[in-house]
Amino acid sequence: MRRLRDYLRFVVCNAGIGYVALWLTTFWTLDYGGAVFGNSGVCQPADAKLLFYWVCERDSPLSILAAVANTALTVTVWAPVYVAAATVYPPAIMLALPIVLTHVIGLPAALLVTIRLMARTLALLHSRRDKQRPQAAENARPVQAKPRPRVVKPRSSFGLRDRGV
């Protein structure tokens, strides 16, 4: 059972990191894609009327980067278009389903990875603070003795047994 939990933790962690990387790729494409692909001389915008993609020559190494950028745009920015198309044209569900599953699985995994990363960071900061604190505490105040436990006299009888009731 422990091995299964470790495998699931590994899968969820990588899904969360992958989802964050997907959005970082999308933001990079939107911010710098025009400068990188447009000024390269081997890439140009696709002739699509509704969606925006980059098309590069096959021999160019930028064609791989353009394919990654186009995939990131498809899964993130253009996802509502593909999901809406699947409601009208049922065979398009083959493309809309992986897009929806990416967000359904990726977003909670990314949130979990972020929360765990913040928790580990705070635990590291607290452990460093606690390591520094005893040295300062030894110099600042004397060690106090532990309070003595309260002594209770033992009874010879308990409850109503002695009264003869």
Mean pLDDT for the chain?
87
Question: What is the Cα–Cα distance from 42 to 49, expressed in whole angstroms?
Answer: 21
Instruction: For residue 69, give the nearest of 101, 31, 40 by alpha carbon.
Output: 31
The encoded tokens of residue 49 equal 């009327």
Q: What are the residue ranges in the chain where pLDDT is below 70?
A: 134-143, 157-165
- Give me the residue spans of the domains in the chain: 2-121
User: pTM of the full predicted structure?
Assistant: 0.71
pLDDT of the residue at 109: 96
pLDDT tens digit sequence for 27-62:
999 999 889 998 888 988 888 777 889 999 999 899
56: three-class secondary structure by DSSP: strand
The CA distance from 156 to 154, in Å, is 7
At residue 140, the 3 state secondary structure works out as helix
